[in-house]
Chains A and B, each alone.
Chain A
């Protein structure tokens, strides 16, 4: 198997470092990078590049007012600032905002005998962010999707036509790609999945329309 398929490519890493990636995709990059020393290294370099480019800009001085205002605010900043707390170390740091009490306590919905899913949120571009949970040895039926699909394996492992994927691995499948992931026998597999799709509209019409545009695991 080509090793590069388990890492985001340099286009994605560059956009992540530059800050121009949709947040749902950045979430997947972050979940992968937490487990990947190689990509950590490359992102450090990419951030260094961003920094060097910034140093080359022609400086645009701020007003003395701005400086005075800011200096006057510093003491009150200290008073209101709360140090961030870390919660559950078994869960990716970037997912803490959605998972407060472990995977077990999420509102999982049954999609098929082998698969449960829970939607975490929507991105501003309409992309759906969800977790998928596949039973040991369980299979998803062959499926396609409308837009690109980003997957990061959070727990366990699965295989499809292209190979075996393990914890931390990142996969990008485009709409033309048909695949049939199967969880390995030794444990259940939990994945973070982001599916690009049209913006969701609210209201009666969308309730009629949405089933048509939802991804189906038949």
Chain B
């Protein structure tokens, strides 16, 4: 439990820095956020393209710029800060892939992925949300390796379920059912 206390303290100081950036355009606070998040964002990019160091820098830079510009729209009551950063990194990755794809999609992803975070939750949802996140964190470590591997391919390496099934030489149905089992154990699926 000592570990989770330090991680929640760290989260509180990160949130404080975001607030300073939002309210005072504080560059020292921004530099702190850079030190904490850039290595993670780079790792996220390298998980998909292991040797692409420049791509990793580009993604990290893009995410950090969005943090600077959007800090005032971040509300800790609506989303955990780490989750907010994850969604920014994911959105930047989607933009990057769209710009660099052979057949460019005519669909602008900007408005597609930003309609969830803005809705204000009721007090019940807030309690529920914090508990859900704690469940995910504590149960992730206990997940069978075969399920954890698939989640990592899907979320970090950015593979589709189809690509995951080809790489692991597993039937598509097995991949889907392992994802489903993992989500159930993590209590991500509230209703099914």
Contact = CB atoms under 8 A, between A and B. Distances in A.
Chain A binding surface SS class: helix
Interface string A12-31: 00110111111110110010
B98 A23 contact: yes
Chain A interface residue number, banded: 35 or more
A10 interface: yes
Interface in B74-110: 79-80, 82-83, 85-87, 89-91, 93-94, 98, 101-110
A4 interface: yes
Contact of A121 (B30, B106, B113, B161): B106
A71 interface: yes
Q: Which of B61, B112, B151, B180 has the most CB of A within 10 A?
A: B112
B46 to A, nearest CB: 6
Contacts of A18: 90, 154-155, 158
A70 B103 contact: no
B167 interface: no
B190 interface: yes
B108 A48 contact: no
A57 B47 contact: yes
B113 A96 contact: no
A206 interface: no
A18 B153 CA distance: 10
A51 B85 contact: yes
A41 to B, nearest CB: 6
A151 B60 CA distance: 36
Interface in B126-182: 129, 132-133, 136-137, 140, 151-152, 154-156, 158-161, 176, 179-180
A122 B93 CA distance: 20
A47 B31 contact: no
